[in-house]
Amino acid sequence: MITETVASRLEEVNERIARASERRGAGGEVSIVAVTKGHSADVARAALEAGLRALGENRVGEMEGKVAEIGRDAADWHFIGRLQRRKARQVVGLADLVHSVDSLRLAEALSRRAVEEERPLPVLVQVNASGEESKAGIPPEEGIDLIESVCDLAGLRVEGLMTMAPFTDDDSVLRDTFRRTRALFEEADRHLDRFRGTHLSMGMSNDYEIAVEEGSNMVRLGTVLFGERSYD
């Protein structure tokens, strides 16, 4: 039952992504991170059965629970939430990609743990491209230097950038946020040897089509696939 619902929602989402890519006029795959936070392990299993592979969680404890129920190797585990430095060790063991590296101090903590555990950690640097005070992320003005510092840390592989747009239906605000992040992504890719511009993680349920039009190649989708969750 859940599996069928998720599969048909995913089909619709894939069509919308394909149309947005066409409007953008550039080819290339857009990958989907199924954001299962606030949902049960059964919902996460339904996502995997529907053909999704990457599962996104924003709390370390919840992620740990799902990993235990579903299996470390049964999915790609993406950590997308705000991360406290004291949880760095846990995350290094659990995550295949951390989207939310939003300060050098956090990056250093992850680096130390990744080196200790001899487990290189792929990360994205989170950019606060809208300048909202409530949002995590590095300001784009400081961006390139900070990204370079993160790239220089042992044990981390910087594979791209992530941003969250403000919650608004004002398209121009959304587009500005995504464009600023993409400009920084391209600058980093051109100028920083150790930066691998693989993932540009932008777009959630309410704005993913615009994000794809603006160059996103990784969208993080919860509500549009699974409905409302138990918390926000």
Ligand X SMILES: *Cc1c(COP(=O)(O)O)cnc(C)c1O
Residues of the shown chain interacting with ligand X in the complex, contacts defined by CB under 6 A: 35, 37, 58, 80-81, 164, 204-206, 220-224
CA distance 200 to 212: 10
Please enumerate in sequence order all residues whose Cβ is within 8 A of that of 141, keeping only pairs 6 or more positions apart, or say none.
none
Only one residue has tokens 């910087």, namely 158
Q: Which is nearer to ligand X, 122 or 155 (CB)?
A: 122
Residue closest to ligand X when measured from CB atoms: 222
Q: Which is nearer to ligand X, 10 or 204 (CB)?
A: 204
Tell me the closest approach of the beta carbon of residue 203 to ligand X, in angstroms.
8
The answer to whether 97 and 81 are in contact (CB under 8 A) is no
Tell me the closest approach of the beta carbon of residue 152 to ligand X, in angstroms.
26
The answer to whether 66 and 42 are in contact (CB under 8 A) is no
**How big is the chain, counted in residues?**
232
Q: Which is nearer to ligand X, 54 or 188 (CB)?
A: 54
Tell me the closest approach of the beta carbon of residue 134 to ligand X, in angstroms.
13
Q: Which is nearer to ligand X, 87 or 220 (CB)?
A: 220
Q: Helix, strand or coil for residue 18?
A: helix
Q: Which is nearer to ligand X, 80 or 151 (CB)?
A: 80
Tell me the closest approach of the beta carbon of residue 78 to ligand X, in angstroms.
9
**Angstrom distances, CA of residue 210 to CA of 85, 125, 207, 216:** 33, 21, 6, 9
Q: Which is nearer to ligand X, 138 or 155 (CB)?
A: 138
Tell me the closest approach of the beta carbon of residue 199 to ligand X, in angstroms.
13
Q: Which is nearer to ligand X, 95 or 155 (CB)?
A: 95
**Angstrom distances, CA of residue 127 to CA of 6, 45, 171:** 30, 31, 19
Tell me the closest approach of the beta carbon of residue 67 to ligand X, in angstroms.
18
Residue-by-residue DSSP string for 52-81: --EEEES-HHHHHHHHHHH-TTSSEEEE-S
Ranges assigned E (strand) in the chain: 31-35, 54-57, 76-79, 97-101, 121-127, 156-163, 199-202, 218-221
Tell me the closest approach of the beta carbon of residue 169 to ligand X, in angstroms.
13
